A and B are shown apart, each in its own frame.
Chain A
Amino acid sequence: MIKCQACDREQQPRLLCAQCGAPLGAGLDLFAALGLPRKLTIDPARLEQTYHDLGRRIHPDRFASKSVRLRDASLRATALLTRAYRTLRDPVSRGLYWLELNGHKLADNNKSVPADLAEMVFEVQEQLADLRVARDGSGGEAERLRGAVDERRTELHRMIEGGSRELVQNFARWDAHGGANGAGRDALVMELKLVLSKIAYLRTLIRDIDRELDSAQAA
């Protein structure tokens, strides 16, 4: 039970006080913070609308002249709301979070390369190493390598798009499945984990490329 700082009412944890609508925001999972069921399929337009509606009611801007305790509650509730929105808006982080909630957390720093990506990852790392070397040398070679890396980047983005489509289908299948127990469930979780770790890995790869291109530009 938590106590509302505005009207003193004791209640179950929630984002807004059931009695007076003041921000509470304690100990909630991110689905609950946005008042959503724990489903993988989320309509982005409705999610944004909910986020904005709740934001308008609990944001610190609305409590600038209120008591210190209420301002603090507003700050914490809004931080939670923001995190919930950012996590659930993106299908990949939503999937990862959902798995975590259901006790299937993927390793934090997933360094192992998915098998079907191994060859390409190796090539990208080689290209980046070449670019690092060429950066200090003549301009023409660096330019050519930058072009090649840029192309690779586009390809990776396409792969992520493909993966995301696969992910959305997985989400729909899972939600239809109703989260029931049984053999099907484990297979679905496995599949979900596989797609997610692949996309997460591709994103890391793109970030490495961007960083390398950025410092190549700065040099």
Chain B
Amino acid sequence: MARIFGIDLGTTNSLIAVMEDGRSRVIADPVSGDSLLPSVVALAPDGKVFVGDEAIAMEPHLSVERDGRVSAVGFPGGEFGAVVRSVKRYMGRGGEELADEDRRRYTFADLTGAVVRFQVGARTFTPPQISAEILRALKARAEAALAGETVARVVVTVPAYFNDGQRQATKDAGRLAGLEVVRLVNEPTAASLAYGLNEKAEGCVAVFDFGGGTFDISILNIKGGIFEVLATNGDTHLGGDDLDRVLVDALLEGVPDTVRADRHVWNSARRVAEDAKKHLSEAASVELKLDLPDRKIARTITRAEFERMAAPLIDRTLECCRRALADAGQNAREIDAVVLVGGSTRMPLVRRRVGEFFGREPLCTLDPDQVVALGAAVQASVLMGTQGDLLLLDVVPLSLGIETMGGVMERLIHRNTTIPTSTTEGFTTAVDNQTHVDVHVLQGERELAPDCRSLARFKLGPLDAQPAGVPRIEVTFLVDANGILNVTARDERTGREHSVDIKPSYGLTDDDIERMLEESIDFGEQDIEQRLLIAARNDADQILTALEKQLREYGELVDADERRRMGEVTARLEQARRGEDRERLSKLVEELNEITTPFAERIMDRAIKLALEKKSIEELT
């Protein structure tokens, strides 16, 4: 069976890993030797796409020439091509949710739609499409490194605090990249798997995951191979990007807004800030320098100053920790181990504050940039059935509910409920002869519907005309192991399944994705499930044709009983060949292969014998 790979689709960097000989390892680029692929995508005006370091080179920035002149280079956006960084921040969000800052940095096509669209020339790109390019680059890297092994099935990690729409967008990205996303795994949980397997961590573990764009805290109980998440909390818009911004603000203090808004200036400032931030993890102070066309900026910032500016951001992470502990029913001092994950935990202030909060030295024995991908590979091997004793029990991060009369959110599934989980709710009509019931699904912790995140709307029906309150429809809300909601409805009286036509509030519809797949000329983008089914059908055709021919030519080599058994399996296979069940099809091909093996061997024997006879005759003559 094809291997399943683990992918960490990060805000700043992405990685691909696989399990080999009982240990997971990150697959480095065979040419450059890099493990991390920068999550930066350049969309050239001619339609070409670049990912990683190549894309960074095309990012708009200021270049200082040898004679000291400063010029603007790179794709500035819009008709001139765009370079998108931290696309993860835009996953599962709608156009109207974009802030002024976003609009300064990128050119967007649609500021009202259910999904953000980046404008490049005459084309537009959604965040799942851009993320798909990163996934495709990782796939290509792994396939090149592994001498032609195909990467078709993957586990992709997501922030634990990602909502339903953000998770769905990540799955969409996989589909658009021609990958089957077998499972989404929460990043801190993946990290705990890597620690549990490699460092034998046990007991109550807190995973503090502070990445490039997102923050998660998960409290787990690890016991005898069961990784049970007790509670999770976080902020999907809090990470290293925000630490950079603190330094950008300090660097550009006094610079007019119009200059600041320039994409070349901003990106150059961001690069200077990012380097400075990394230096400040080692050095006591650093000089930030930026050459603008009309002036040179130089500013020295000490670590103490930076820590003072960053403190409010760290406070926010600890506030999340406090909430997660309360939900887990644990005391900070009862935690057996605290694990640091994500590049932002390299900051000494973070380590110090986390240590103080939990009253113990945090662990970071595994590379904080790699640990999530390593854990994703562990979960991939669990799904392949090669880690029989491990089991992950994760939770839903945010409560799910529906809007009830008066705009109140009624919680149906509470946050931190173990997944998969389901609940059923009865619906009926409010007025006579009502033919449809509208249901609005929400996610969040607030009391009022408008304060929660709208997930989707769906219509139940059509219903038979009846007096109000008579129809009884039972709706099942099921959150699967990916943390994604599925809705089914049943008429309680007739037991008949109702169709549920779900319209997601944010993100792509199935039709959108189909269209994107059709539009793409790349064969690799075809729906993977469909491709696998076609491949399985081809296998079936091949063996059926071969067997028919062999029986015709060498029929005397099989006895009646053998022929009867072959006939039986052949009939079942021919039937499955017309169906859609790939698993059954593959199984039957295997079965037929197995029972015809002795026959094939006999044919081979006969052929060899004939060849030898022929040879001896030739030798004689």
Residues of A within 8 A of B (CB): 52, 55-56, 59-62, 64-70, 75-76, 78-80, 82-83, 85-86, 210, 214, 217
Contact = CB atoms under 8 A, between A and B. Distances in A.
Main secondary structure on chain A at its contact with chain B? helix
Contact of B418 (A61, A66, A76, A86): A86
Interface residues of B, number: 32
Contact of B392 (A61, A68, A70, A80): A61
Contact of B182 (A64, A68, A82): A64
A59 B417 contact: no
B391 A75 contact: no
B183 A75 contact: no
B1 A61 contact: no
Given A80-B422, A217-B319, A75 B478 contact: yes
B351 interface: no
25 contacts: A52-B224, A55-B226, A55-B393, A56-B226, A56-B389, A59-B481, A60-B420, A60-B481, A61-B379, A61-B383, A61-B481, A67-B581, A67-B583, A68-B583, A76-B422, A79-B478, A79-B479, A82-B419, A82-B421, A83-B421, A83-B422, A86-B417, A86-B418, A214-B323, A217-B319
Nearest to B584: A67
A78 B319 contact: no
Interface in B356-415: 379, 382-385, 389, 391-393
Interface of B: 1, 4, 182-183, 224, 226, 319, 323, 326, 379, 382-385, 389, 391-393, 417-423, 478-481, 581, 583-584
- Pairs A-B, 6 closest by C-beta atoms: A64-B383, A79-B422, A67-B583, A79-B420, A60-B481, A82-B418
Contacts of A75: 420, 478, 480-481
Contacts of A217: 319
Contacts of B480: 60, 75
A74 to B, nearest CB: 9
Contact of B420 (A64, A67, A82): A82
A66 B478 contact: no
Given A55-B393, A56-B391, A59-B391, A65 B422 contact: no
Contacts of A214: 323
B421 A79 contact: yes
Contacts of B379: 61
Given A60-B481, A76-B422, A79-B478, A55 B391 contact: yes
B415 to A, nearest CB: 13
A89 B319 CA distance: 29
Contacts of B419: 82
Most buried by B among A60, A75, A78, A79: A79
A217 to B, nearest CB: 7
A80 B478 CA distance: 10
A217 B316 CA distance: 11
A78 B482 CA distance: 13
B384 A65 contact: yes
Contacts of B389: 56
A69 to B, nearest CB: 8
A82 B1 CA distance: 30
Given A67-B584, A75-B480, 16 more contacts: A52-B391, A56-B389, A59-B393, A59-B481, A61-B391, A68-B581, A76-B422, A78-B420, A78-B481, A79-B478, A79-B479, A80-B422, A82-B419, A85-B418, A86-B418, A217-B319
Contacts of B224: 52
